[in-house]
Amino acid sequence: MTENSLDTSGRHAAADQASTERAGASANAPGSADSPAHVDSSVPSRVAAPPPGGAGRPPRPTLGRRAAAFADSLWRPGLVLAAVFAVWWFVAAREYVPNYLVPTPGQVWETMTGQWSELARHTVVTLYETVLGFLLAAAFGLATAVAIAYSRTLDKALYPIVLFAQVIPKIAIAPLLVVWFGLGLTPKVILAVLIAFFPVVISGVAGLRSTDPELLDLAATMGAGPWRTFRKIRFPNALPHLMAGLKVAVTLAVVGAVVGEFVGASEGLGYVLLLANGNLDAPLLFADLILMSAIGIVLFVLVEIAEALLIPWHASRRAGVSLTTS
């Protein structure tokens, strides 16, 4: 992290240096090729490496450095998790709380490994519902956002409906969905879509509306049609907002899928949770919760990775490695 912010300042230094050189070159006689590249000695030499004229970017961090940075970002949350784990283990092992309420980590582990194939099957079901719901929510959400951002009429027509759909407690319509669509995949996916839809729309509209009006004026003088302007200017400009919305949406999609399973299902982690609850099977309950959280975390990280690849240029991402210039 610190490494990269240093790089950035280094490039600034390089830019300023080159512009002063140019100033010198245009004021004095040109061709003073031997004009020394004044580099402040306090700047690390790696940063000063670009030749006079400033060609080239700073070298990419090596694999070792990146691994070190990754480890550096992990040890703090790791420590907190370990502390929580230790407290759990201590409380359960000493039986301050009876084991049928709080099982020991060992019991949970045994349940997880013992019933692994069953649990894996249910995890895949929930994961499938979540991902499908998320992707549909992203697609519909983005389409709605575009409609709202581009058309005043649609803005007035759709926005109240979107808002209304959001304030209905969606968990409360889960039973209705089960009545309508049965116990299969459909009601879970619909619920996931309904829950994950709103943040996508809101962030998409905010992103599309945040385009610098001067850029739009500029696009007009370039004679570009609305599609080109959308593709080259408005959409990329909206991506940072949109990605933030998608991160919220993906975690909410898990909630939608699980709640759908609560209400009526024959498989999935939500179904297992109810089963474990009914049997007072605390180890299974804990194992199930851990798997649900794991789904949320994995999907969230995937969206984060997508974000890092899509918008390496954005301020929130500048610590990352630049991948593209076009």
- The residue with tokens 């990775």 is 305
318 binds another protein (CB under 8 A): yes
- The residue with tokens 């992203």 is 138
Evaluate whether 292 touches 257 at the Cβ level (below 8 Å): no
CB of 299 to another protein, least distance (A): 25
Phi, psi of 211 (to 5 degrees): -65, 135
221 binds another protein (CB under 8 A): yes
224 binds another protein (CB under 8 A): yes
212 binds another protein (CB under 8 A): yes
CB of 24 to another protein, least distance (A): 10
Nearer to another protein (CB atom), residue 177 or residue 233:
233
CA atoms 171, 176, 180, 182: torsion sign: positive
Nearer to another protein (CB atom), residue 203 or residue 237:
237
CB of 307 to another protein, least distance (A): 13
Give the CB-side neighbour count of residue 51, counting CA atoms within 13 A: 4
223: left (phi over 0), alpha (psi -120 to 50) or beta: left
Task: Specify the stretch interacting with another protein by CB under 8 A; choose among 51-59, 162-170, 176-184, 255-263.
Answer: 51-59
314 binds another protein (CB under 8 A): yes
Tokens of residue 51, six digits: 């030749």
207 binds another protein (CB under 8 A): no
- The residue with tokens 């809101």 is 202
118 binds another protein (CB under 8 A): no
Please tell me the distance from the alpha carbon of residue 52 to that of residue 75, in angstroms, as a whole number: 40
Please tell me the distance from the alpha carbon of residue 179 to that of residue 196, in angstroms, as a whole number: 22
Among 219, 250, 258, 273, binds another protein (CB under 8 A): 219
Nearer to another protein (CB atom), residue 237 or residue 251:
237
Among 46, 65, 156, 228, binds another protein (CB under 8 A): 228
SS3 of 97, please? coil
The DSSP line for 198-232 is: HHHHHHHHHHHHTS-HHHHHHHHHTT--HHHHIII
Task: Specify the stretch interacting with another protein by CB under 8 A; choose among 10-18, 33-41, 137-145, 155-163.
Answer: 10-18
220 binds another protein (CB under 8 A): yes
Nearer to another protein (CB atom), residue 46 or residue 57:
57
For the chain, what percentages of helix, strand and coil (3-state, to nearest 5) are there?
75, 0, 25
> How many residues sit in the footprint of another protein (CB under 8 A)?
42
Task: Specify the stretch interacting with another protein by CB under 8 A; choose among 46-54, 102-110, 113-121, 282-290.
Answer: 46-54
Phi, psi of 4 (to 5 degrees): -75, -35
11 binds another protein (CB under 8 A): yes
172 binds another protein (CB under 8 A): no
Please tell me the distance from the alpha carbon of residue 188 to that of residue 178, in angstroms, as a whole number: 9
Evaluate whether 272 touches 122 at the Cβ level (below 8 Å): yes
Task: Give the footprint of another protein on this chain (CB under 8 A).
Answer: 8, 11-12, 15-16, 18-19, 22-23, 26, 50, 53-57, 212, 214-215, 217-224, 228-229, 232-233, 236-237, 311, 313-315, 318, 322, 324-326
